[in-house]
Amino acid sequence: MSAREPQQAQPPSGSAEPDAAGGYEAVAPHWFYCKVTDARERWIPFSAQDSGRLEEAHSAGKDKEDVVVPTSGGRYDVHLKTRQRVAVYWEEEASEVRRCTWFYKGDKDNKYIPYSETFSEELEEAYMTAVTQDEWKKKLESPSREIIILHNPKLMVHYHPVATSDDWGSTPTEQGRPRTVKRGVENIAAEIPNGEPLQIDHLVFVVHGIGPACDIRFRSIVQCVNDFRNVSLSMLQAHFKKAQEQQQIGRVEFLPVNWHSSLHSTGVDVDLERITLPSINRLRHFINDTILDVFFYNSSTYCQTIVDTVASEMNRLYQLFLQRNPLFKGGVSIAGHSLGSLILFDLLTNQKAAPEEDEHSEEGARTTASNRRVEEVKEILKELELSEYCEVFEREKMDRQALFLCTEANLKEMGIPLGPRMKILHYISSKREMQDQSTAAPQHKECGSPSQHNPDNTDDGRNCQYRDIGLGQVSANYPQLNYKPTIFFAFGSPIGMFLTVRGVKRINPNYSLPTCKGFFNIFHPFDPVAYRIEPMIVPDVEFEPMLLPHHKGRKRMHLELKEGLTRMSVDLKNNLLGSLRVAWQSFTRAPLPALEAASTEGEGEAETSADKQPDTKAEEPPPAVKEEASPINVGRLNGGNRIDYVLQEKPIESFNEYLFALQGHLCYWESEDTVLLVLKEIYQTQGITLDQPLPGSQ
């Protein structure tokens, strides 16, 4: 069920005229809560599911007790006695809650506002009397001394008096602009969501970047994550409908992690205020509140505050979530936006795997290294054109190290003939000479890359690369998490840039995060803060990031048109150049005798094709157009899968990439393509796939 799907309209209880018998039907109540934004009140309906629970508790007479009803998927609690809605996982002002039956239209935005519960009961009693006794034109006075007149079941009006008795000493009249009054929530066209699935399959913690605002509308991390969650519910219904119908899945819960308020509550803002110049006050305040977070993170003092806050908050949220959801058996993933992704990356690189996992990983590394050395022996024999002896060496369990220790007697004992023996011994002696020459001169070995000089080297570079990844990190005591994340998602992340600035030139392909086996780097093509990761793992190969498929199953039209025109222009250019080359060669070639023409016709065609071949290869489509011919090995950081994923820009964004650069950095919260990738990868770990695979996806 989608949280955005409106509730089916209930049969109107009070909108129709009473029947001949004067029948009265009680109004169906619905529960609302008041959300205050910029000093403006907005009444929002609870989902049909939550309103039903609240009404059930109210009908059971639990209002007089301090009963707490969880709502909004367990993220908010409603205290029935005090009529307050309180956030569970983060700090937020409590909201007023009402059991609503009667509404009037507001002055400013034409939204319907519920009357108080007490006055609604008075209105309902007057309405019941009017219906049963057929006595209309009734006047009621609200607590604010405003007049409500019940003309008939379809016409009920709220009059705002022009003057009050305090000003003129007169009683209120129905003068002033009338406002419509409605009975029952079904008559005010409110969009009521059905509610969220009760089953939670996976938990994701989301860490924000610099500053208190997370998007172009200056909203908090709580509001942005709410949008992300709502988009995920609609994507689940659109792309995982079969699994939902079979009750294989429920939903993914996203919880925000706020560290900015803790950092700026240390008193550093007061210290900055003393030294901040008075000119361009708003700009300086904005810089102190946002941009300086990057410098704070590079300070050992405040870096410790930030990592402690993020780790302790995620551990606290995890424990609280388990207390409220004792049957939860799913996994936990983490996501970070901008600087938040760097904080999470540094935390993950400093996590300690369990001792038994270290043993298994070392054993696996030794097995992998041994298998690699056996394969190297096969490659050597293939190079020496001695592939027929591979079975002999494999039977004797000969790896590269053992091969370089072999003598002629050993090879003879293995049954290798004299000729092949000489080839192998010559190869061994030549490699030893090359090694002696290379070790004689001082060599610079890059940390994090396996040695290429020692043929007996068995180190896979994991430990060395672990130190390399941590090179340049701020000196801090990185806390440990109480769980092992399944996947790490980075949105608009500067991780690659920070690693480069710290002095990390490349990441060892064998390196993986100690406790997290999945890593996805997702970015918008115009995001000025985002950097790639894969070129640091495979620096010698140029290749494009994976293009995220559109959530509706195809590339955006302007991208398809752009690629089609590019292919067309390249093909036309290649064909034109090829035709000109053939014409020029036929013009400059000397005439051949008639007898030789037939015999050399085949050769002429071969020459022509050979001449044309380089020209057709001279112009190739740009990298963004070419399809990947073979999979690229990007190491173990994401379990051997691709890491960098780029979103498709919208048509309007392609007109001016500079104009939409800031929007590109803040677009991830409402991006259906981003949310769908997150859901796809999370549910793939549980063996659940999309209803229909999207084109271009892995």
Q: What pLDDT, in 10s, does the model give residues 112-151?
A: 899 999 999 988 988 888 888 888 887 888 777 788 888 8
Q: Are residues 526 and 664 in the same domain?
A: yes
**Beta-bridge mates of residue 546:** 645
* Alpha carbon 106 to chain centroid, angstroms: 39
111 plus 202 within the same structural domain: no
Report the pLDDT averaged over residues 25-32.
92
Q: Do 171 and 132 lie in a common domain?
A: yes
What contacts 316, CB < 8 A, 6 or more positions away?
Answer: none
Residue 608: pLDDT band with limits 50, 70, 90: very low
Is 76:88 a contact under the CB 8 Å cutoff?
A: yes
What's the length of the chain?
A: 698
DSSP run (H or E) holding 107: none
Statement: residue 16 has pLDDT above 50: no
What pLDDT is stored for residue 516 in this prediction? 96
- Which one is predicted more confidently, 486 or 23? 486
Contacts of residue 198, Cβ cutoff 8 Å, sequence gap at least 6: 250
Instruction: Report the percentage of the chain scoring pLDDT > 90.
Output: 44
| Residue 146 shares a structural domain with residue 280 | no
What integer pLDDT is reported at residue 372 of this predicted model? 63
- pLDDT at position 627, please? 42
Q: Which whole number is the average pLDDT over 573-602?
A: 56
Residue 6 lies in a domain: no
Long-range contacts of 537-543 (CB under 8 A, 24+ apart): 537/506, 537/507, 537/508, 537/509, 537/634, 537/635, 537/637, 537/643, 538/509, 538/632, 538/633, 538/634, 538/635, 539/506, 541/632, 542/623, 543/623, 543/628, 543/632
For residue 563, what pLDDT band results from cuts at 50, 70 and 90? low
Q: What is the pLDDT of residue 458?
A: 39
Q: 143 and 225, same structural domain?
A: no
In a domain, 590, yes or no: no
**Separation of alpha carbons 487 and 379, rounded Å:** 36
Tell me how far apart the alpha carbons of residues 418 and 252 are, in angstroms, rounded to a whole number: 67
Q: What is the pLDDT of residue 307?
A: 96
**Distance, CA of 413 to CA of 424 (rounded, Å):** 14
361: confidence class by pLDDT, cuts 50, 70, 90? low
Highest mean pLDDT among 33-47, 400-414, 523-537 belongs to 523-537
pLDDT(455) > 50: no
Q: Is 338 known to be catalytic?
A: yes
Tell me, yes or no, whether 244 and 144 share the same domain: no
User: DSSP assignment, residue 117?
Assistant: H
Specify if 366 maps to a domain.
no
Q: Which amino acid is at 688?
A: I
Structure tokens at 630: 């073979």
What does 484-530 look like in DSSP terms, one character per residue?
--SEEEEES--HHHHHHHHT-----TT---SS--EEEEEE-TT-SS-
Boundary-marking domain end, from 365, 400, 432:
432
Asked, for residue 367, whether it belongs to a domain, the answer is no
The contacts of residue 230 (CB under 8 Å, 6+ apart) are: 3, 4
pLDDT, residue 436, reads 61
Residue 449: pLDDT over 70: no
Check which CATH number belongs to the domain holding 382 and give it.
1.10.150.50
**Do both 155 and 230 map to the same domain?**
no
**Cα(346)–Cα(304) distance, rounded to whole angstroms?**
12
Instruction: Indicate whether 194 pLDDT > 50.
Output: yes
Nearest C-alpha neighbor of 302 from the set 273, 343, 253, 344: 343
- Contact between 524 and 665 under an 8 Å Cβ cutoff? The reply is yes
For tokens 């707490």, the residue is: 68
Q: Residue 414: which domain range?
A: 374-432
The type of residue at 404 is F
Q: Letter for the amino acid at 121?
A: E
* pLDDT tier at 566, thresholds 50, 70, 90: low
pLDDT at 157: 86
Confidence of residue 224 (pLDDT cuts 50, 70, 90): very high
d(CA 512, CA 507): 10
What pLDDT is stored for residue 369 in this prediction? 56
Least confident of 292-306, 479-493, 542-556: 542-556
Tell me the two tokens of residue 157. Answer: 């009006």
- Spatial separation of the C-alpha atoms in residues 523 and 497, rounded to whole Å: 14
**Predicted pLDDT at 267:** 87
Q: What are the pLDDT digits (tens) for 302-313?
A: 999 999 999 999
Unique residue bearing structure tokens 């939902």: 244
Angle of the 339-349 helix axis to the 300-324 helix axis, nearest 10: 80
- Give the DSSP letter of residue 210: S
Q: What pLDDT does 410 receive?
A: 84
Instruction: Report if residue 611 sits inside a domain.
Output: no
Of 550, 677, 667, nearest to 227 (Cα)?
A: 667
For the beta sheet containing 76-79, the strands, ordered from the edge strand earlier in sequence to the opposite edge, are: 40-45, 30-37, 95-100, 84-87, 76-79, 68-71
517, 353 contact by CB (below 8 A)? no
Angle at 376 between CA 371 and CA 378, to 5 degrees: 100
Burial 53-82 (b: 16+ CB within 10 A, else e): bbbebbeeebeeeebebebbbbbbbbebee
Q: Which of 138, 141, 133 is nearest to 152 (CA)?
A: 138
- Domain-terminating residue out of 191, 212, 246: 191
Asked if residue 236 is part of any domain, the answer here is yes
Alpha-carbon Rg for the chain, nearest whole angstrom, is 36
Q: Give the pLDDT of residue 216.
A: 80
> What are the tokens at 512?
């993986």
Do 512 and 394 lie in one domain? The reply is no
Interval 198-222: pLDDT, tens = 999 999 999 999 988 888 888 899 9
**Listed range (198-212, 243-257, 442-456, 495-509) with the worst mean pLDDT:** 442-456
Does residue 504 share a domain with residue 638?
Answer: yes
- The residue with greater pLDDT, 463 or 336, is 336
pLDDT at res. 409: 84
Would you say 34 and 43 are in contact if contact means Cβ atoms under 8 Å apart?
A: yes
**What pLDDT, on a 0 to 100 scale, did the predictor assign at position 108?**
72
pLDDT band for position 459 (cuts 50, 70, 90): very low
Token pair for 640: 């051997």
260 is a domain residue: yes
Of residues 561 and 188, more confidence is placed in 188
For the chain, percent helix, then strand, then coil, each to nearest 5?
A: 45, 15, 45
Q: What does pTM read for this prediction?
A: 0.72
pLDDT(567) > 60:
no
Between 192 and 439, the higher pLDDT residue: 192
Residue 555 placed within a domain: yes
Instruction: Return phi, psi of residue 453, to 5°.
Output: -100, -35
Q: What is the mean pLDDT of the chain?
A: 80
For the stretch 55-73, pLDDT in tens is 999 988 877 778 999 999 9
Amino acid, res. 686: Q
> Is residue 396 domain-shared with residue 312, that is, in the same domain?
no
Higher per-residue confidence, 177 vs 365: 177
- Strand 487-491 and strand 251-257: the pairing is unpaired
Cα atoms found within 13 Å of the Cα of residue 224, Cβ hemisphere only:
25
| Residues 205 and 342 both lie in one domain | yes
**Which whole-number Å values give the CA distances from 188 to 15, 40, 139, 640, in the listed order?**
11, 20, 22, 54
pLDDT tens readout for residues 251-296 = 999 999 999 999 988 888 899 999 999 999 999 998 998 899 999 9
The residue from 166, 191, 216 where one domain ends is 191
Of 26 and 360, more confident: 26
Catalytic residue of the set 120, 220, 338, 341: 338
Q: Is the pLDDT of residue 560 over 80?
A: no
User: Is 616:575 a contact under the CB 8 Å cutoff?
Assistant: no
Strand partners for 87: 76
Q: Which residues neighbour 258 within 8 Å (Cβ) at sequence distance 6 or greater?
A: 90, 208, 220, 221, 222, 313
Tell me the C-alpha to C-alpha distance, in Å, between residue 54 and each of 7, 31, 205, 348.
17, 7, 28, 42
What CA–CA distance (Å, rounded) separates 129 from 149?
A: 14
> Is 594 a residue whose pLDDT tops 60?
no
Instruction: Give me the mean pLDDT over the 87-111 stretch.
Output: 90
End-to-end CA distance of the chain: 27
Q: Are residues 108 and 232 in the same domain?
A: no
What is the domain count for the chain?
3
